[in-house]
Amino acid sequence: MNDSEMDRLIGLAQPTDVPRGALSEAGQELLEEIVSVDPQVDRKDNDVVLLPHPRRQRTKGRRGLATLGVAAAVVAAVAVPTVVFREGESVTPAAPPVSAAPEPASTSNPFLLLDAQGWVVDRVTESTEEEGEMIFRQSTTGKLLEVVWMPVEADESWYEGDPDDPEPEQVTFLGQKALLSGLGRGEFEIRAERGDLFLSVRSRTGERQAFDKLIGHLRQAPAQEWFAAMPDSVVTPDESAAVSAQLLDGVPLPAGFDPSIFVSDRSNTRYHVEFQVVRQVTCAWIGSYAQARAEKDEAGMAEAEDALAGSAAWPATHQMGSAELIGAEPYLQKMSKREAVGDYRAGIGCDY
């Protein structure tokens, strides 16, 4: 594990039930329209507190932080429901109407913003209701500041630190008691605990004074402001339905596939959302092929193969740049030979 991968830590802020932000009605309607198309139609103060997800305001001047491109980084996976692939004897590219919105969820997102000049939001990953990561990047130097929150039990040994490291210094951070450690090579980290969660802030600033100055620009913002500050590379809950609809436009889906699994009440970098769409639709078609093969259904196998063979043209694949990242090619080759696909779910990571 390299230094960049180690740059993550732990959450502060006791989780509590928080109403999810209302999905935009226009986005939801668009998603329903796309997935319900007839198959015959051609479809071309500073304490961290928990706040509800409000709708992100869409105005030309809404950005509190500069917009940047999607980071080409490995995406942390998010669990999604297992898909029921087919009902009946054949697979079709139609999908049922979108199911009801999920129940209100809770979040431990501390909604932190960095007001230091030249620093922008690089990416956000909320992998679960209790775990997430937010990375700020200095636009000229490329330096990073990483904020990570997670449950204590996720990695208590990490929080305790390396016994060979110097004794951490007790400090106050965002109005809470915290520990500050020097990690070597000009890297510093603040770790704080509240209840069952840890919060970590880490950056390689070179000098301790520079680190102190940088984290002094961190603040906990109202949720409305935090959402408004997210760049276009981050998909927030109110955008989730519309973005999902765009990524599924023209994509053939097996009967029984529920596209509402992509409508999320958490914020994630757009690349992450694209990756999940491609992976889950790929898994659905391979599963459909496996079922058709077990039933000796040649038409079903052919349809699954054709759908997957066209994945390079899917909007999400096009925006990602390549479908090879999913690792479906070996399975597509097996499908073309009408061979068994084996444990494709583990191979592709369908359950993550």
Structural domain of 105: 3-348
Q: Is the pLDDT of residue 297 over 80?
A: yes
What is the C-alpha to C-alpha distance for residues 211 and 214, in angstroms, rounded to an integer?
Answer: 5
**How many domains is the chain built from?**
1
Alpha helix locations (H) across 295-338? Answer: 298-309, 315-320, 329-336
pTM value > 0.85: no
Check residue 315 and give its pLDDT. 92
Name residue 136's amino acid. F
Q: Is the pLDDT of residue 305 over 60?
A: yes
Q: Are 15 and 68 in contact (CB under 8 A)?
A: no
Check residue 327 and give its pLDDT. 86
Q: Is the pLDDT of residue 277 over 70?
A: yes
In this structure, are strands 106-107 and 16-17 parallel, antiparallel, or unpaired?
A: antiparallel
Instruction: Provide the pLDDT confidence category of residue 146 given band limits of 50, 70 and 90.
Output: very high
Specify the higher pLDDT residue, 290 or 160: 290
Render pLDDT for 48-75 as a digit per residue (tens, 0 to 9): 333 344 444 433 333 332 322 333 333 3
Name residue 251's amino acid. V
Check residue 176 and give its pLDDT. 82
Q: Is 262 helix (H, G, I), strand (E, B) or coil?
A: helix
Instruction: Provide the pLDDT confidence category of residue 81 given band limits of 50, 70 and 90.
Output: very low
Q: How long, in residues, is the chain?
A: 352
Check residue 26 and give its pLDDT. 41
Check residue 40 and give its pLDDT. 36
Residues 6+ apart with CB under 8 A from 219: 46, 112, 113, 115, 174
Give the residue among 188, 195, 105 at the shortest CA–CA distance from 150: 195
Specify the higher pLDDT residue, 55 or 174: 174
Tokens 């990571």 -> residue:
349
Query: Environment class of residue 79 by beta-carbon count within 10 Å: exposed (0-12), middle (13-18) or buried (19+)?
Result: exposed
Q: Is 41 helix (H, G, I), strand (E, B) or coil?
A: coil
